[in-house]
Structure 1
Amino acid sequence: MKKRYQLADDERHLFRESIAGTRPLRQDTVKAPKPSRRRVAPPARRLMQEQVDASYYFSDEFQPLLDSEGPARYVRPDASPYEVKKLRRGDYTPELFLDLHGLTQAQAKQELGALIAACQREHVHCACVMHGHGKHILKQQTPLWLAQHPDVLGFHQAPKNFGGDAALLVLIELNQ
């Protein structure tokens, strides 16, 4: 290895004089423990089970009573109606987004279940579900499915900057 900077003899002598009387430091710190090899992400089997469990709540036969006039909105009976008003105004910013474009109804149900499970796992209070316009199948079914889930506090049609009438903002109840 080539030395780039050579000290002159007088500089080396000056350095040795300046550190005269010093002694090396003794290492007195504790060694850090080795990091554990625990997996941070849950196993794939557990994630799949969460999706299946969460999609269990969605039924095509049950038709919840939703207001058909105006934008799609819902508030759980024990939740504050003011929360949905905050969603409409855009006070909540979604942290997770789910795009259902191109999915079948069965796939969309599974993905909705996975989204709700992910929100609870990650402690996310607001999410955005983009169902699109298309043939209006997912646009009609998504609010019906969300209204059936016990962890959904409410939802409202998204403001324009989050998808407008092709998306829903969803409030999720977090289990502490």
Structure 2
Amino acid sequence: MAEDDFTLFLQEMADVKRLKTDVLTDENGEHQPTLAQLARRKAAELEPEYDANYLRLEYVDLVAPDEVLAYKKDGVQEGVYKNLRLGKYQIDATLMLLGKNLTDARRALFEFVADCHQRGIRTLLVHHGMGRDSKPQPAILKSYTYQWLKQIPAVLACHTAQKTHGSYAATYVLLQKNTEQKRENRDRHQKS
């Protein structure tokens, strides 16, 4: 049967002639993009660049302007958390978010924490304000800052600052050790 199919194919293709050229060009030599190509180009230009910032701008549970923010991951020692809460650690870096909109605050907090972690800075102070008069709801920036801090893997704990550091308008942040600090710590304890 295969031979019959092949013979039939050859009979059907007998009057087919080879094209002289496979390249199609415009008569005037200029190539104009098709409508589909123009649409794809426009969509690519409008598409936002990849954003490594994973902090969400979706709705968060709002906190009151005078609410104490308190968060710690499992495994953080109570003594360490207590010292953070009481402001006993030296603050090595401060971020001022006051007056920023949510988009700018999100970017600033993400970059600030990433930079501090990479440089080995462990204790931070973030000024977000109390937001008593913020519209449409009070304490919007404070609420988002608190939610964002809990989303960042490098953040071990955070707590509302003591009065001397800003009270309800600021938050202490404790970061985990970076890779280099962990290695040094391992090396130090192996030698003992």
Contact 1:59-1:145 at 8 Å conserved across structures: yes
Structure 2 CA distance for aligned equivalents of residues 62 and 147 of structure 1 = 15
Provide the residue aligned with 2:96 in structure 1. Answer: 99
Q: Confirm whether residue 138 of structure 1 aligns to residue 141 of structure 2.
A: yes
C-alpha deviations, 1:76-115, integer Å up to 9, x for none? Answer: 1232233221111121121110000111111111111111
Q: Structure 1 length as normaliser, TM-score? A: 0.62
Instruction: Work out which of the residue numbers 149, 156, 172 in structure 1 matches 2:152.
Output: 149
Structure 1 CA distance for aligned equivalents of residues 59 and 130 of structure 2 = 23
C-alpha deviations, 1:25-84, integer Å up to 9, x for none? Answer: xxxxxxxxxxxxxxxxxxxxxxxxxxx53x32x1234859x9xx9611100123223322
Provide the residue aligned with 1:89 in structure 2. Answer: 86
Residues 78, 95 of structure 1: alpha-carbon distance in 2 compared, 3 angstrom cutoff: same
Q: Give the length in aligned residue pairs.
A: 121
Structure 1 CA distance for aligned equivalents of residues 116 and 57 of structure 2 = 23
Provide the residue aligned with 1:167 in structure 2. Answer: 170
Corresponding letter in the other structure for 2:145: T
Provide the residue aligned with 1:44 in structure 2. Answer: none
Q: Which structure 1 residue ranges, 5 or more long, are not aligned?
A: 1-51
Which protein has the larger Cα radius of gyration, Structure 1 or Structure 2? 2
Provide the residue aligned with 2:121 in structure 1. Answer: 124
Q: Which structure 2 residue ranges, 5 or more long, are not aligned?
A: 1-50, 180-192
Structure 2 CA distance for aligned equivalents of residues 165 and 95 of structure 1 = 20
Residues 80, 61 of structure 1: alpha-carbon distance in 2 compared, 3 angstrom cutoff: farther
Structure 2 CA distance for aligned equivalents of residues 147 and 63 of structure 1 = 12
Q: CA RMSD in A?
A: 2.4
Structure 1 CA distance for aligned equivalents of residues 59 and 100 of structure 2 = 21
List, as ranges, runs of 4+ consecutive aligned residues in structure 1 with deviation greater than 3 Å.
Answer: 60-64
Corresponding letter in the other structure for 1:105: L
Contact 1:75-1:81 at 8 Å conserved across structures: no
Corresponding letter in the other structure for 2:148: W
